[in-house]
């Protein structure tokens, strides 16, 4: 049986990034850039003030102090979005707002708080005088043209992940369209005679097909485009027909019907539809029967176990990295060392993934401690504990008990909780 690492390595070796597409800025969010962004502009476009205050020749106020303010006439007034009507002359000051272009000649800005403006209630309009309480170093509070981004600079590289700041950066440069990797379409099919749809009341013996929705949400969270195929009965012909439909997508996920029961027909149906199976068991708990193969055109096909927690864990470990890989992102989920708060009796033989809540406990003077609370229900049919978890704690394949205080590895599937001790 393959180990989790071997299975993941096998899958990733079959992942070739999808093609690229040009999309509007917001649609690039959470995707991977496929062409560099080269600036065609200079930012800031002009020298501008970092403060509301006065632009001056620094030499004019070199002797300024609170006791002996230097008084200058206000010759100009510049708001953000407006250009100075003329250069500044020595011996005068320009009232400037944050972001306003600094007039030519001026080499420093003094913030309002360092002038008498407040005390004197100096007029805001041009005319009047202003007293300076402090000298200024040349260059003070002036944001120089080009000090953020030079024209021709590569501001984002191929492979960069696009988040809100990258989108803002591109917008600031007037880039409304980006070239990114395509999102994979992911068809999701459940199997089982016991299943009914979420909007139906289960008949005796039935349960709602929850996997298809949990998996669709996992697909969306990973950046893929879920195509919900619903469920097929445990009938080879019915399953094959839906698999044929699903093979139109970039990736096909099935859930259920891959273990050793009398009605576990999925593997046979996949093969009958031309999917070459490459492995069908991984040494892990939960999720052992996870199956992987490739369909026509090298499409990735995952046969996930039917138990709800097993299918979600198998998705997390194998499908998510594959989907991110198709989108050009090879960064794995963060793994951290955490201290167990609870003990746990291991079955042994297989690496185990336990649903946990990881919290960062901050104790004054002691730094942060990462603590994992193991949720009580670890049975693979229970989603209640999956719902509360933000991490999977990985216990190596040894048997025996792990005890509170032991250091283990956790895969962060959500945001850790911040807590004070
Ligand atoms: P199977 O892998 O088909 O043997 O299913 C294992 C367990 O998971 C059984 O208890 C099934 O009823 C349950 N199960 C299978 N598919 C689903 C599904 N789509 N939604 C919820 N539970 C499921
Ligand atoms: Mg079944």
The whole-number pLDDT of residue 126 equals 45
Of the listed ranges 120-124, 332-336, 349-353, 366-370, the one predicted with least confidence: 120-124
Region 147-176: mean pLDDT is 97
Evaluate if residue 123 carries a pLDDT over 70: no
Region 128-147: mean pLDDT is 96
Evaluate if residue 347 carries a pLDDT over 80: yes
For the chain, percent of residues with pLDDT exceeding 90: 93
Report the alpha-carbon distance of residue 371 to residue 339 in Å, rounded: 5
Of the listed ranges 148-152, 318-322, 365-369, the one predicted with least confidence: 365-369
CA of 195 to the centre of ligand 2 (A): 9
Closest CA to 45 of 140, 146, 141: 146
Instruction: Report the residue among 212, 256, 262 best suited for mutation to probe ligand 1: largest number of ligand atoms under 8 A from its CB.
Output: 256
The pLDDT tens digits for 24-40 are 999 999 999 999 999 99
The pLDDT tens digits for 276-302 are 999 999 999 999 999 999 999 999 999
Evaluate if residue 55 carries a pLDDT over 50: yes
Evaluate if residue 67 carries a pLDDT over 50: yes
The whole-number pLDDT of residue 236 equals 97
Evaluate if residue 366 carries a pLDDT over 70: yes
Ligand 1 pocket, CB under 6 A: 190, 192, 194-195, 207, 209-212, 255-257, 259, 261, 305-308, 381
What ligand is nearest to the CA atom of residue 258? 1
Which atom from ligand 1 is nearest to the alpha carbon of 191? 16
The whole-number pLDDT of residue 118 equals 54
Reduced DSSP (H G I as helix, E B as strand, rest coil) percent helix, strand, coil of the chain, to 5: 20, 35, 45
CA of 114 to the centre of ligand 2 (A): 76
The pLDDT tens digits for 213-245 are 999 999 999 999 999 999 999 999 999 999 999
Q: What CA–CA distances, in Å, run from 324 to 261, 332, 391?
A: 32, 9, 19
Residue whose CA is at the smallest distance from ligand 1 atom 14? 306
Closest CA to 100 of 126, 125, 82: 82
Residues, CB within 5 angstroms of ligand 2 (ion) = 192, 256-257, 306
What ligand is nearest to the CA atom of residue 233? 2
The whole-number pLDDT of residue 224 equals 98
- State the chain's mean pLDDT as an integer: 95
Report the alpha-carbon distance of residue 100 to residue 77 in Å, rounded: 10
Burial class (CB in 10 A: 0-12, 13-18, 19+), 301: buried
DSSP-assigned letter for residue 114: G
202, 235 in Cβ contact below 8 A?
no
* Residue ranges with strand state E in 200-290: 207-208, 225-232, 251-255, 276-279, 284-285
What ligand is nearest to the CA atom of residue 261? 1
Closest CA to 227 of 189, 175, 179: 189
Of the listed ranges 12-16, 99-103, 366-370, the one predicted with least confidence: 366-370
The whole-number pLDDT of residue 127 equals 65
The whole-number pLDDT of residue 122 equals 47
Q: Which runs of consecutive H residues, i.e. helices, occur in 41-146?
A: 117-120
Question: Residues with Cβ < 8 Å from 222, sequence gap 6 or more?
Answer: 319, 320, 323, 324
Kindly report the number of other CB atoms within 10 A of residue 396's CB atom: 11
36, 158 in Cβ contact below 8 A?
yes
The answer, as to whether pTM is greater than 0.75, is yes
Band of the pLDDT at 119, cuts 50, 70, 90? very low
Region 367-371: mean pLDDT is 94
Evaluate if residue 343 carries a pLDDT over 90: yes
Place of tokens 């839906």: 242
Region 112-137: mean pLDDT is 77
Evaluate if residue 121 carries a pLDDT over 60: no
Region 322-334: mean pLDDT is 97
The whole-number pLDDT of residue 348 equals 76
Evaluate if residue 372 carries a pLDDT over 80: yes
The whole-number pLDDT of residue 93 equals 96
Kindly report the number of other CB atoms within 10 A of residue 19's CB atom: 7
């Amino acid at each position: 049986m393959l180990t989790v690492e071997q299975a993941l390595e096998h899958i990733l070796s079959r992942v070739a990034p999808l093609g690229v597409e040009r999309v509007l800025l917001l649609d690039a969010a959470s995707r991977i850039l496929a062409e560099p962004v080269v600036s065609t502009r200079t930012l800031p476009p002009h020298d501008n003030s970092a403060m509301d205050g006065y632009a001056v020749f620094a030499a004019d106020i070199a002797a300024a102090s609170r006791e002996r303010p230097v008084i200058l006439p206000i010759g100009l007034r510049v708001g953000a979005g407006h250009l100075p009507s003329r250069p500044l002359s020595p011996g005068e000051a320009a009232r400037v707002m944050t972001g306003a272009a600094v007039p030519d000649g001026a080499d420093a800005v003094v913030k309002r708080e360092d002038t008498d403006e407040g005390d004197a209630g100096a007029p805001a309009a041009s005319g009047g005088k202003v007293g300076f309480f402090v000298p200024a170093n040349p260059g003070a509070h002036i944001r120089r043209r080009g000090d953020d981004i030079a024209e021709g600079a590569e501001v984002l590289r191929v492979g960069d992940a696009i988040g809100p700041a990258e989108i803002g950066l591109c917008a600031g440069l007037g880039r409304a369209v980006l070239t990114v990797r395509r999102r994979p379409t992911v068809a999701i099919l459940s199997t089982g005679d016991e299943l009914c749809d979420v909007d139906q009341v289960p008949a005796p013996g039935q349960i709602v097909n929850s996997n298809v929705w949990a998996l669709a949400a996992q697909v969306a969270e990973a950046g893929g485009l879920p195509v919900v195929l619903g469920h097929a009965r445990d009938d080879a012909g019915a399953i094959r027909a839906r698999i044929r439909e699903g093979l139109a997508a970039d990736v096909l996920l099935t859930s259920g019907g891959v273990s050793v029961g009398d009605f576990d027909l999925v593997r046979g149906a996949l093969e009958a539809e031309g999917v070459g199976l490459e492995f069908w068991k991984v040494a892990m708990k939960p999720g052992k029967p996870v199956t992987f193969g490739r369909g026509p055109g090298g499409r990735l096909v995952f046969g996930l176990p039917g138990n709800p927690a097993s299918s979600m864990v198998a998705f997390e470990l194998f499908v998510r990295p594959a989907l991110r890989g198709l989108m050009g992102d090879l960064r794995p989920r963060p793994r951290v060392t955490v201290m167990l708060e609870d003990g746990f009796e291991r079955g042994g033989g297989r690496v185990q993934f336990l649903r946990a809540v990881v919290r960062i406990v901050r104790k004054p003077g002691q730094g942060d401690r990462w603590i994992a609370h193991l949720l009580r229900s670890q049975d693979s049919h229970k989603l209640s504990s999956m719902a509360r978890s933000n991490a999977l704690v990985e216990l190596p394949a040894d048997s025996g008990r792990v005890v509170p205080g032991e250091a283990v590895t956790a895969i962060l599937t959500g945001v850790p909780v911040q807590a004070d001790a």
